Structure 1
């Protein structure tokens, strides 16, 4: 049942999320290599708090806004979001995933930016969290259309959450954005793979971890047949016809291909391609085209904008983890 706390974000007017230097006090915390992941996480918590996620479930009833109006960098374009910011009680967070006939998962993201848990499927869950607050991302599948996804969202309960107590640390969020832009630019010329360590103790390369947060905050640690794997292509020419052909990824749930602009935001008027509807080749491979015309197989038109594309494997297969499927490396 939907409660009075839940927030419906059917009309996304996100002017409140835009942050200006005048909004910051002089005593803000400077951003460093050591604290960037925490600061970027605080920025995301803060953006979603402005949208009501610190008071109730913030339901996104449409696909994400394009460009920097989005509250989070590189949002997926293949599910609807519902977001919760909750206090962790006795070291644990409790939540439920309702029964539905579409894909639904919950990711629990700590204040350090770690996707500590990724849970798929109906049930009641009680899980440990290593920080004082947690950010829960409900992803609801659109494979049966937006109305079916919205109906599934309406069944999410918020009775187990402790709302209203989160306050972000006083980072200079304008400086966080500058760091994010710098780190994102660093990866435009190379294929980028995310690892998303689950816990703070699992970070072995601080710079790599910062790159992951800058390019796609809130991603999951890959787990065969459960959680997802993400990879980014290099920056590609938006005025050239490009294609990539790859073996069927055989993701347990689905696979998607999404184009992003140079800052890793969705492009206005550009749609993703997914295994829910893509056309297979006769030899069980998949070809995705970019800017090759409406008649090209599985075409994504970036409308002249240079772009990267991200592969998302929902319930990643072992062969993808083993590197046997790599569309981002074979585009030409």
Structure 2
């Protein structure tokens, strides 16, 4: 099962999104930037609104996207072996074919930055989503092979248990010639559908700390060209519903300190402190740094670590 894990994991994901969209070559748009009840994939983010489409590219297809100005929008193309041969940006038409992406089906995974606190911005992103389209020469239904579901779930659980030993996403996502096979395997289980490190650098942490009060002091000058975020998950890798509706903090919506830095609070949210995410047993988090600068990629700059509140 390890040998074909990436194919099985990706086919299982593709089947979910085909079901959501009602077939291939059709977009399904996530409209609610904080929908805890709709998490088809492990460790999703709430910083962007996703739009997804499984596309039959056996005879070629075209993806058409609108212009979005300075807003972050990326179109990640994932093939059936969980390799990412290209990520598109900006408006225009893009060719999808097997010469480029290697497998008969791919999933187009759109991420469009949204300010979840601003209803007008959410509506603006909805309008962007409505302008995305796909034209394909073939529309053969996607059929999920009969994988051993019990064995697959056991392997996912086993690989996720290695999260504390995985430093970051280096070598985990990208084209076949770009990834490290071991890191690709682990990241397929821990964060299926992650972007290549040139597009987003992922720093995951499972501190193995009890529920309590902690903080992360983030400087004003995080070296990214787009934005950064921190999302908090339960021990299964999903957002867990809380009465504050607080699941992530990012550089777009978070409250800054006077010097432009930001304090992220983990736990101790009952006093309504800002940038606070409630904790649960087994809590862990992922930092995403979008369009990272080289010092992030080469490890000479690292995101601050969590520390207990005195």
Same fold per superposition (TM over 0.5): yes
Pair 1:50-2:19 in alignment:
yes
Q: Distance in 1 between matches of 2:76 and 2:107?
A: 8
210, 218, 242: which one pairs with 1:246?
A: 218
Q: How far 1:256 moved relative to its partner?
A: 0.9
RMSD of the TM alignment (CA)?
2.5
Over 3 Å counting, the alpha-carbon distance change for 1:267 and 1:324 in structure 2 is: farther
Q: How many angstroms apart in 1 are the aligned matches of 2:22 and 2:201? A: 26
Asked if the contact 1:229/1:313 (under 8 Å) is kept, the reply is yes
What is the TM-score of this pair, normalised by structure 2? 0.85
- Segments of 5+ residues of structure 2 without an aligned counterpart are none
User: In structure 2, the residue corresponding to 1:86 is in which secondary structure?
Assistant: strand
Partner of 1:103: 72
1:54/1:117 CA distance change after superposition, 3 Å: farther
Q: How does 1:1-332 map to 2 (within 5 A)?
A: 32-52=1-21, 54-55=23-24, 56-63=26-33, 65-66=35-36, 70-89=39-58, 93-100=61-68, 102-127=71-96, 128-143=100-115, 145-160=121-136, 162-188=138-164, 191-205=167-181, 207-223=182-198, 227-237=199-209, 239-247=211-219, 248-269=221-242, 270-293=246-269, 294-302=271-279, 304-327=280-303, 329-332=305-308
How far 1:330 moved relative to its partner?
A: 4.8
Deviation at 1:163, TM superposition (A): 3.5
Q: Is the 8 A contact 1:194 1:212 kept in 2?
A: no
Q: Offset of 1:197 from its aligned partner? A: 4.0
Cα distance in 1 for residues equivalent to 2:263 and 2:53: 37
Measure how far apart 1:194 and its partner are. 4.5
Report if aligned partners of 1:54, 1:86 keep a CA contact under 8 Å in 2: no
Question: How big is each residue's C-alpha offset from its partner over 1:186-226, in whole Å with a ceiling of 9 and x where there is no partner?
Answer: 22466443433422344443x32221011100111111xxx
Structure 2 residue aligned with 1:6: none
Q: Deviation at 1:93?
A: 4.7
1:137 and 1:276, CA in 2 relative to 1: closer, same or farther beyond 3 A? Answer: same
Deviates more, 1:230-239 or 1:131-140: 230-239
Deviation, 1:180, is 0.8
Taking structure 1 as the reference length, the TM-score comes to 0.79
Is the alpha carbon distance of 1:48 and 1:311 closer, same or farther for their aligned partners in structure 2, counting shifts above 3 Å?
same
- Answer whether contact 1:109 1:135 (CA < 8 A) is retained: yes
Q: Answer yes or no: is the 8 Å Cα contact 1:251–1:317 preserved in 2.
A: yes
Structure 1 residue 277 displacement after superposition: 2.1
TM-superposed deviation, 1:229? 1.2
**Structure 1 alignment gaps of length 5 or more:** 1-31
Paired residue secondary structure (2:93): strand
1:97 to 1:212, Cα distance in 2 relative to 1, 3 A: same
